[in-house]
Amino acid sequence: MKLQIIYQAACFEPSSPDFYNGWLDEMDAMRRIGLSVSDTPSPEAERLLYRSFIINDKSGFPQDSRYISRWEDYCSTSDMSVYLPLIEDLTIPSFVTQELSNKTVEKIEALGWKRAFVRSSLKSLKYMFPESHTEEELPVWPEVSMQRLADAYHEYRESMKPPYIIRQFIPENTIYQEERYWIINHHAYHRSGVVPQVVAKAVERLKTLNASYYVIDATPEFIVEVNPGVSSDSYPENIPLHFPQWIKDEFV
């Protein structure tokens, strides 16, 4: 077989704490268009494409040389400090810092930003505040002090170590306009068939990362973020008609 889709074993287990039903729908759609699906690579497969939950370290990434995505691809499309310089003028105004301190506040104020979203280069603390915190308490300065943000990120230092990305706060009603674009072999895909110019520009610049399989989340005006294809949700609206076919067209 030319291509086999390998899903992390937990994707098959409804009893797994990380189980997501969308994986099963995606697997069924892959099978319906003739793609092989398993949690174990077949010796007959020429190429492998991996689908999994978020991977935090290299030991959790498959090492078989037949995989289309490499660990280096995964890192370059998940670490904002790596890809941000390539698309800086196409995305939300942001800057990189090694610490969260009064100096960070001074720079935010010097830029004239009234509010700033604070995240690590790998992920946001948005969904990771302890349960004692209120739902409204997002990692946004000045609603949350820089010291408290520093303490919270330190709590998750294994997966949220520096650098940090400070982003000008964008109203949620603007962010909610974002759509997910799949970038496969440097070609952008969306179920509408329409790719905004800002996404096309980003794809061209991100070619230097040499990643063959990732996503860009964007509004029609700006890029929100980039994420690895391996662990990105394909979204129910892209199944069964779109995502599996894009994979087949590009990799088979």
pLDDT per residue as tens digits for the range 149-185: 998 888 776 667 789 999 999 987 787 789 999 999 9
The whole-number average pLDDT for the span 201-220 is 96
CATH 1.10.10 fits 93-169, yes or no: no
pLDDT value, residue 135: 47
Say which residue, 186 or 139, is predicted with more confidence. 186
How high does pLDDT run on average in the chain? Answer: 89
Q: Is the pLDDT of residue 136 over 60?
A: no
Q: Is the pLDDT of residue 225 over 60?
A: yes
Q: Which amino acid is at 182?
A: W
CA distance 129 to 127: 6
Q: Is the pLDDT of residue 24 over 70?
A: yes
pLDDT value, residue 142: 93
- Pick left, alpha or beta for residue 189 (phi over 0 → left; psi -120 to 50 → alpha; otherwise beta): beta
Band the pLDDT of 202: cuts 50, 70, 90.
very high
pLDDT value, residue 158: 62
pTM score of the predicted model: 0.91
Say which residue, 192 or 15, is predicted with more confidence. 192
The whole-number average pLDDT for the span 245-252 is 96
Given a contact cutoff of 8 angstroms between Cβ atoms, the answer to whether 242 and 219 are in contact is no
pLDDT value, residue 131: 46
The ranges assigned to domains in the chain are 1-68+234-252, 70-90+171-229, 93-169
CA distance 122 to 118: 12
